[in-house]
């Protein structure tokens, strides 16, 4: 008799490119406690905008999503808008940046920095 496999949904995913860049930043700073904070604020072309920051500490009500040696931190307000999203990293003519691929967004601006749900 075979059993059902257990599945724990991940609130956020981290692309290989974002994981590699975050790992490099942690090594450059020589700070293994460094985490990428992802948040949503009001504003931008489409109503909400994504933000990124680096954090060493997390608040009691933050969500910590770990991916081996690297981790994302999300506050409770932002969490609801980011569930199911993938944090990615890209380098191009416009520079280098972290970005969010959000399946919950109904509209996004041209640069991908703001969205509407």
Residue 42's pLDDT is 83
Q: How many domains does the chain have?
A: 1
Binding site residues, as ranges?
Answer: 45, 109, 111
- CA 108 from chain centre, in angstroms, equals 16
pLDDT value, residue 89: 95
The answer to whether residue 5 is domain-embedded is no
Cα of 21 vs its chain's centroid, Å: 13
Is residue 72 assigned to a domain? yes
Residue 87 lies in a domain: yes
In a domain, 110, yes or no: no
Q: Identify the pLDDT of residue 92.
A: 86
- Position 106 in a domain: no
pLDDT of residue 6: 47
Residue 73 lies in a domain: yes
Look up the domain containing 67 and give its range.
13-101
Measured CA to CA, the distance from residue 108 to residue 48 in angstroms comes to: 9
Residue 29 placed within a domain? yes
Residue 3 has what pLDDT? 56
pLDDT computed for residue 94 by the predictor? 77
Binding-site residues from annotation for iron-sulfur cluster: 45, 109, 111
- State the pLDDT at residue 59: 93
Alpha-carbon distance 105 to 82, whole Å?
9
Q: Determine the Cα angle at 78 with ends 72 and 81, to 5°.
A: 105
Q: CATH number, domain at 39? A: 2.60.300.12
Q: Quick check: is 3 in a domain?
A: no
- Counting as low any pLDDT under 70, the low residues of the chain are 1-10, 44-46, 106-117
């Amino acid at each position: 008799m075979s059993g059902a496999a257990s599945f724990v949904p991940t609130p956020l995913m981290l692309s290989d490119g974002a994981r590699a860049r975050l790992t490099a930043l942690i090594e450059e700073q020589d700070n293994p406690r460094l985490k990428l904070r992802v948040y949503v604020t009001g504003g931008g072309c489409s109503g909400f905008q994504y933000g990124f920051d680096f954090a060493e500490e997390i608040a009691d009500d933050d969500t910590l999503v770990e991916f081996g040696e690297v981790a994302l931190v999300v506050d409770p307000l932002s969490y609801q808008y980011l569930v199911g999203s993938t944090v990615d990293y890209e380098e191009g003519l416009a520079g280098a940046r972290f970005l969010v691929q959000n399946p919950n967004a109904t509209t996004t601006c041209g640069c991908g920095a703001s969205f509407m749900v």
